[in-house]
Amino acid sequence: MTVHNHTDTRPAKKRRSPISRAEGERRLIEAAHQLVRERPFSEVSVRNIADVADVNHGFVHTWFGSKNDLLAAVTQMLSKEISEEAKVAPPGTEAISAFDDRLVLIVRLVIWLNLEGYAFSSGLNLEILHTLRHRYVTVDGLAPCDADNAALIATAIGIAVGAFRPIMESGTNVDLSQIFPTWRHILGLLAEHPSQ
């Protein structure tokens, strides 16, 4: 009887090293962010995200609940980044650009999640709105009631640009660059002549 010693020539499977929950969540959020920038949202799977993050796909459900909960976490991460940058933007500059790819992605993700029937459990993160309001009061000198209205209008402009930017960039002659100087002018007028 001949004994055959077979050597396994398959490549060894990469072993995932243990990570903390915080590190795993961070990796999953960053991987989801990377993938939704590159592919249609519907084509990004939990397994794709977990593979890019090098985290077991079961942790998506354990730590987030679902792919949509993870995508909602991506919107929160991006909102926080944008808000932090807006807080330190120099006076007279655009605190938040409606053309910021992160803002466009937030708007598109929120719309997509809404169409998927996703309900934001703690409400939509309004950190950007609060940051704008605070900046309009402290940097631009607006009265609080005017700052509230200006922040709502600026947010609406950002949502519109985010939602429709892909359409506007598809060969139309729309020049949105004039929106922002006009908006700065309106903020200046509100600061000089606050509502009563």
DSSP states of 70-118 as a string? HHHHHHHHHHHHHHHHHHTPPTTS-SS-TT-HHHHHHHHHHHHHHHTT-
pLDDT tens for the chain, 196 residues long, are: 555 555 555 554 554 567 899 999 999 999 999 999 999 999 999 999 999 999 999 999 999 999 999 999 999 999 999 999 988 888 878 888 877 889 889 988 988 998 898 887 665 567 888 899 999 999 888 999 999 998 888 888 888 877 776 666 655 555 666 666 776 677 777 777 777 5
User: Are 107 and 159 contacting, i.e. CB atoms less than 8 angstroms apart?
Assistant: yes
**Terminal Cα-to-Cα distance of the chain (whole angstroms):** 101
Q: What is the CATH number of domain 17-65?
A: 1.10.10
Question: Which sequence spans correspond to the domains of the chain?
Answer: 17-65, 75-192
**Among residues 103, 193, 1, which one has the least CA distance to residue 94?**
103
Residues 94 and 82: their CA atoms lie apart, in Å, by 12
pTM of the model: 0.76
